[in-house]
Amino acid sequence: MDEKLIVERKKLLDKLGSVPEPVIENKEWLYLLEEETRNSILIEGYFLNEEELEQALAGNKPVSKSQEEAIKYFKTAKFIYGLAYENFKSNELLFGIPLIRQINKELGFSGEFRKEKIKIGGAKFEPPENYIEDWVRIYIDYVHNLNENFFNRLCVSHAFFEEIHPFIDGNGRTGRILLNYILISNGYPLVIIKGTDKKKQLYYKGLEELDNQLSDLFVKYENIPPDKQEVSKS
Ligand SMILES: Nc1ncnc2c1ncn2[C@@H]1O[C@H](COP(=O)(O)OP(=O)(O)O)[C@@H](O)[C@H]1O
Ligand SMILES: [Mg+2]
């Protein structure tokens, strides 16, 4: 994540009276939300161009699988970012298991934490097999303590969530919506992780680097309930 750029943007927004409410009547927000939708589902293999997205959002019957996925993503992100903006306004962070599960559900998945082993497509990293809910609680705790070194820890938190891979499916999309939820809750604009081949490679490379840094943690606590460990503050 380009920290300098986003900090500059926040300064500019602060000058203009802080980050605007994420409502689709606001053209910039709508544009960002649409671009995020297209890119985030592209990372998962669903391509649709701007026109196809416009058609889908206009309420015409979705004709393709990509359009269906886009509508679910767009609606979920829109609602969740509205909530994030309320966090920002009230200087509070509503962040916990119900929110995480509900995002996964609204995206069309089960919203249930997995009970079985899973593989991340194309990755060497193996997500933990046990204590999924405990791992998620540690992730939540970590997000509540981003304070100093905010951007660095925010990136780590995203990789941490993806490595836990708590759901059977939809972890990428759920995790990216959570990432922007945290940003907006803190008064920052959203980020768009690009889904084009080259940019996706870069995103995956970043995740792999953090896989390497965090894998010891997962191995070490594989058979010990993570809530018994002091890992969330480090
Ligand atoms: N090496 C990796 N380490 C951690 N997470 C990864 C790695 N490679 C891919 N991912 C994450 O896994 C996501 C895909 O998981 P998946 O549950 O299928 O999500 P979705 O259904 O949204 O497709 C990617 O979008 C990415 O965020
Ligand atoms: Mg998937």
Query: Which band of pLDDT confidence, cut at 50, 70 and 90, is reported for residue 231?
Result: low
The verdict on the CB of residue 131 being under 6 Å from ligand 1 is: no
Instruction: Report the residue among 207, 212, 214 best suited for mutation to probe ligand 1: largest number of ligand atoms under 8 A from its CB.
Output: 207
Q: How many CB atoms are closer than 10 A to CB 90?
A: 10
Which among 151, 171, 190, 187 has a CA at the least distance from the CA of 36? 190
φ, ψ of residue 14 in degrees (nearest 5): -60, -40
Q: How far is the CA of 44 from the centre of ligand 2 (A)?
A: 6
pLDDT in tens, 84-132: 999 999 999 999 999 999 999 999 999 999 999 999 999 999 999 999 9
Q: How far is the CA of 91 from the centre of ligand 1 (A)?
A: 31
Domain ranges of the chain: 3-228
pLDDT in tens, 129-157: 999 999 999 999 999 999 889 999 999 99
Of 7-11, 191-195, 207-211, least confident by mean pLDDT is 7-11
**Cα angle: 71, vertex 34, 80; to 5 degrees:** 70
What is the value of pTM for the model shown?
A: 0.92
Which among 226, 208, 193, 216 has a CA at the least distance from the CA of 44? 193
Ramachandran category for residue 17: left, alpha or beta (phi over 0 → left; psi -120 to 50 → alpha): left
Segment 69-77 mean pLDDT: 97
Of 34-38, 62-66, 79-83, least confident by mean pLDDT is 62-66
The verdict on the CB of residue 161 being under 6 Å from ligand 1 is: no
Q: How far is the CA of 207 from the centre of ligand 1 (A)?
A: 9
Segment 187-193 mean pLDDT: 95
The verdict on the CB of residue 150 being under 6 Å from ligand 1 is: no
**Cα angle: 137, vertex 44, 155; to 5 degrees:** 40
Q: How far is the CA of 169 from the centre of ligand 1 (A)?
A: 9
At the fourth CATH level, the homologous superfamily of domain 3-228 is Fido-like domain (1.10.3290.10)
The verdict on the CB of residue 170 being under 6 Å from ligand 1 is: yes
Separation of alpha carbons 187 and 182, rounded Å: 9
The verdict on the CB of residue 156 being under 6 Å from ligand 1 is: no
The contacts of residue 48 (CB under 8 Å, 6+ apart) are 38, 41, 56, 64, 66, 67, 70
Q: What is the pLDDT of residue 201?
A: 97
Half-sphere exposure in the Cβ direction for 129 (13 Å, CA) = 6
Residues with CB under 5 A from ligand 2 (ion): 169
Taking 60 as the threshold, does the pLDDT of residue 233 lie above it?
no
